[in-house]
Amino acid sequence: MSTDTTSYNQGLKGWLNSESPESRFHAQMVQLYAGWQSLVANRLAFLGFMIIVLLVLVAIFAPLLATHDPAIQDLKATLLPPLTEGHILGTDDSGRDIWSRIIYGSRITLFIVALVAFTAPVFGLLVGTVSGYLGGWVDTVLMRVTDIFLAFPRLVLALAFVSALGAGIENAILAISLTAWPPYARIARAETLTIRNSDYIAAIQLQGAGRLRIILGHIWPMCMSSLIVRVTLDMAGIILTAAGLGFLGLGAQPPSPEWGAMISSGRQFIHDHWWIATMPGLAIFIVSLGFNLLGDGLRDILDPKKAQS
């Protein structure tokens, strides 16, 4: 049985390392496996990947990992230090377990990251590719609108949108998405300008392909690697922006265990009861570090210039 398993593993490894793929799917698997090997070889990038995987697992299994209900207050157990009376990271001024609140807060963080990652890059990619491919007055108008958004700091602009829309996690996500798309539009436009006059685009045009088909089917895939790297690197900033809105009371509302709001509630106790604000701050730091490390690794893997050098 072990001999059959070893032979199977060797055959699978040889198939993934093949230099002459037999199909398009085979070529994609070979490329994906090569990228995975490069990621594993980069220790810092792999560490960032494991941090993100851990965040996802913590969010999924939050009911199993939490030791208390994150919303229940126990006024008889307020401001307990870590490792006291079954509270791993202590309690806050309302007697709520900080460990459990951080565990459930990972769901809110992952929810914000996922929604922003699936909205802002797609909108920025659409604006950038249309602008770069069509050119002319369309390019001028779209890029000037992009410049207007880029002229304001992201947090300040998000504060303005949330103030207009009203406090709440949904409005905070919408505000962050509205402020996050311009860099993706710039990247997509630059990529489009470099490939719109290439020979294979001209060949596709001669075959009768329309503009929409060319943009969606042939230009978008060429922009994806650069956008994936930028999205990963931007996740830390998105988390900090969401935490900033929560700190100011404009993000997730009580009793939601949002990390920024937890820091805000603990800032008045920072000198005597440091763990209330420090623990969620460490959670933000670790997750942001994970995204930055993973983004740096993906940039090394997906950048063709570095691969050639």
34 and 104 housed in the same domain = no
Co-location of 68 and 214 in the same domain: yes
Whether 171 and 111 map to the same domain: the answer is yes
pLDDT tens by residue, 205-244: 788 777 788 888 888 888 888 888 888 888 888 998 889 8
In a shared domain, residues 37 and 52: no
pLDDT of 309 strictly over 50: no
pLDDT at 74: 87
Domain of 299, in residue numbers: 44-308
Residue 95 backbone class (left: φ over 0; alpha: ψ -120 to 50; beta: rest): left
Q: Residue 10's pLDDT is what?
A: 58
Residue 24 has pLDDT above 90, yes or no: no
Q: What is the pLDDT of residue 57?
A: 96
pLDDT averaged over every residue in the chain: 86
Residue pLDDT, tens place only, 95-151: 999 999 999 999 999 999 899 988 999 999 999 999 998 888 999 999 999 999 988
Q: Are residues 32 and 126 in the same domain?
A: no
Give 53-96 pLDDT, tens digit per residue: 999 999 999 999 999 999 888 888 888 999 888 899 999 988 99
Which 3 state secondary structure label does DSSP give 97?
strand
Evaluate whether 24 touches 14 at the Cβ level (below 8 Å).
no
pLDDT at 152: 87
